[in-house]
Amino acid sequence: MATQTVEGSSRSGRPKRTNAGSLLKPLN
């Protein structure tokens, strides 16, 4: 589930303000 959300956000380029965004921030 988490991986799918992160992947979707990465593809869209606009990480939703959720766990995905929080995870993408430190990742980037």
**Could you state, in order of their start, the residue ranges of all structural domains in the chain?**
1-28
Whole-number pLDDT of residue 24? 63
Whole-number pLDDT of residue 9? 54
User: Is 8:17 a contact under the CB 8 Å cutoff?
Assistant: no
Whole-number pLDDT of residue 18? 64
Whole-number pLDDT of residue 7? 61
Whole-number pLDDT of residue 5? 58
Q: Which two tokens stand for residue 19?
A: 């766990």
Q: CA-CA distance, 5 to 13, in Å (whole number)?
A: 12
* Tens digits of residue pLDDT in 1-28: 555 555 665 565 555 566 666 766 665 5
